[in-house]
A and B are shown apart, each in its own frame.
Chain A
Amino acid sequence: MTAPLVDVRDLVKHFPGERAFLGLGAAKPPVRAVDGVSFTIREGTTLGLVGESGSGKSTVARTLLRLIEPTAGAVLFEGADVLRLGRTELRAVRRKMQIVFQDPYGSLNPRMTVRATLREPIVIHKLAAGDKIDARVRTLLDEVGLDAQYADAYPHELSGGQRQRVGIARALSVEPRFIVCDEPVSALDVSVQAQVLNLLAELQRRHRLTYLFIAHDLAVVKHIADEVAVMYLGKIVERGPAEVLYHAPRHPYTASLLSAVPVPDPAAPSRRIVLQGDVPSPTNPPPGCPFHPRCPHPKKNERCRTEPPALVEVAAGQIAACHFAQEPMTPGV
């Protein structure tokens, strides 16, 4: 098997706790947003990173691109540790690692036309000069399925789907190898969401792109990911090949998430596991298994309350952090 393009090892990001009034007094405990996350992504494949709000999935995306500085860990990309690069080296690497944001409204400059937005990275990274720049912009618009007439449009003149196509074109403009897609379709309508997902898949095939695809929606991820990792409270609780994870989840949180996705078929058997309560605060995660207060597993016992389960291999390529992960779970049971 080929070496992975992206190799994330034990990534940690703790945000310092707030101080009380006027910064006096003891600080609150840190927010452990990402707490030891490791994964690899092979070139040309997609890892789906799934979790609910507060699970730390977006912090993983931002720390591995160093949009925020991590507390500890390593991110190996093309053999170098991105987290230890100096400014000039980092800029060179950033050209190869791009991000598409969730909100195409907030991530495009409202005062720049589509053309200006797409020209900027090409100029900064000196990828073309003179007339070649505009030719490159036309090619990019074509690649993302936007008519050339939109080159002179401002973001407010575009629909949500068109804006997200511009966001994708901007990421593609510097010819990256790796793109972090941070909830790229969550803000879009269903019919448009499918257009953008199909476009991302098509671009991946054409350019052999590698994706980290972040989503809160397991159904969306299923359509794009080769491997899926599920996060809960700053940790990966299960990871495996997509088809295995969806059919034979080993962690009760994965099973619950799967069962909670509404199925557009009234004849489908209803086997929803309704988890009680909310996700606990990452400043003060529960002892033992962080999922134990909400866990519906019939065998849950004292050990879950005291001893944190390790991520162990439970099947070929599938790892899970549950004391009972050696036995398969049926989704919805």
Chain B
Amino acid sequence: MTEPLLRVRDLRTYFVTERGSGTARAVDGVSFELYPGETLGIVGESGSGKTVTSLSVLRLIPEPPGHIRPGSYIEFEGRNLLTLSPPELRAIRGNQIAMVFQEPMTSLNPVFTVGDQIAEAAIIHQGLSRRAARARAIEMLTLVGMPDPAGRVDHYPHQLSGGMRQRVMIAMALVCHPKVLIADEPTTALDVTIQAQILELLERLQRELGMAIMLITHDLGVVAGTADRVVVMYAGQVVETATTPELFARPRHPYTEGLLAAVPRVDTPREQLRAIPGSVPAATKWPAGCRFHPRCPYAWDKCRTSEPPLLDAGAGHQARCWLVAEPARRSNPK
């Protein structure tokens, strides 16, 4: 098997909260690999730690209040990103690993033209002249399917629609041909027909440029259509990981199972949605034992006291659930 491009090992990112209500263990021992050319979906609800994970990879966590704990390890092409000096890190960030954020309006600078913002990375990382960088910006806008790229290059963000702004964000991220693109909820703020355009664009760009994509989303539908493998996060931990077909066909973690049953679908007959009771706990007080046990329909004594590790369920499928070891218990939900 090929070597992973990015290897995250036991990542712990904690935040010290105000008023001494304790330490928020937002990301608490996360491990996964990203292989060249693949799309890895990272799925979770708000508070699961998926965004903090992606920000940690680029070391964009504000310190303080946040800090990445000793013992965490993020390897990119054989180097631990967590021990790099700021200049070494800058040479990678935005160049070899780039990011697309959810809110194109707040992530774009309102007082610079989109052309200037796309060109900036090319000037910094590749030493292009202003003229060459502007030509590169137009080329990038063409690549991301912007109508009238030579005219739009001089537009300001407010003159563009939400879908066009997200295309600009993608153009900015791709200007240095990164090996890894981290896309954090890239379509969440968009209408469904525009979401379809952006997902199709990402697929096409991946085919053409061969980069690996880490797609962070709360939407299992988006993952099903785009990812090769999926990591499901809950309460700061990876609770399940598998290839996409395997995960949807045989979800092993009750949380994944519950999420799948809670998604409203257009393609199946109308029925009562199965909600997961309760809500995601606060990161300052994760429940003891399995962090999902207060919401789990199968939980028994062991789940309340003993935290399960990621257990191997075969075929590259892992789940952080004692049911993997004791499948018979699945037959008697509460």
Contacts and interface: CB of A to CB of B under 8 A. Distances in A.
Is A bound to B? yes
A191 B259 contact: yes
B245 A267 contact: yes
Contacts of A259: 196
A264 B147 CA distance: 31
Interface stretch (B12-20, B96-104, B218-226): B218-226
Interface of B: 45-46, 147, 161-164, 191-197, 199-200, 218-225, 244-245, 248-249, 258-260, 262-267, 270, 272-277, 279-280
Contact of A189 (B45, B222, B248, B274): B45
A190 B270 CA distance: 17
Contacts of A198: 272-273, 275
A31 interface: no
Interface in A158-199: 159-162, 189-195, 197-198
A53 B196 CA distance: 15
23 contacts: A52-B191, A52-B193, A162-B279, A189-B279, A189-B280, A192-B45, A193-B262, A193-B264, A194-B276, A197-B264, A197-B273, A217-B264, A222-B270, A223-B264, A223-B270, A257-B193, A258-B266, A262-B222, A263-B267, A266-B248, A274-B196, A278-B161, A279-B191
Nearest to A262: B221
B267 A266 contact: no
Interface string A192-230: 111101100100000000000000111110110000000
A275 B193 contact: yes
A227 to B, nearest CB: 13
B274 A194 contact: yes
B245 A263 contact: no
A272 B199 CA distance: 11
A165 B277 CA distance: 14
Contacts of A264: 220-221, 223-224, 248, 260, 263, 265
B45 A190 contact: yes
Contact-residue size bin, chain A (C-beta under 8 Å from the other chain) = 35 or more
Contact of A190 (B163, B218, B249, B272): B218
B199 to A, nearest CB: 8
Nearest to B244: A266
> Lowest 3 CB-CB distances: which A-B pairs, in order?
A262-B221, A194-B275, A191-B276
B147 A277 contact: yes
A176 to B, nearest CB: 24
B41 to A, nearest CB: 10
A243 to B, nearest CB: 7
A263 B45 contact: no
Contacts of A279: 191
A265 B258 CA distance: 15
A277 B163 CA distance: 9
Given A198-B273, A270-B225, 12 more contacts: A190-B259, A191-B276, A195-B276, A201-B272, A219-B264, A219-B266, A222-B265, A257-B193, A262-B219, A264-B263, A272-B200, A275-B197
Name which of B161, B248, B260, B266 has the most chain A CB atoms within 10 A of its CB: B266
Nearest to A191: B276
Given A216-B192, A257-B192, A243 B267 contact: no
Contacts of B270: 222-223, 242-243
Nearest to B195: A260
B225 A262 contact: yes
A18 to B, nearest CB: 14
Contact of B264 (A52, A53, A222, A256): A222
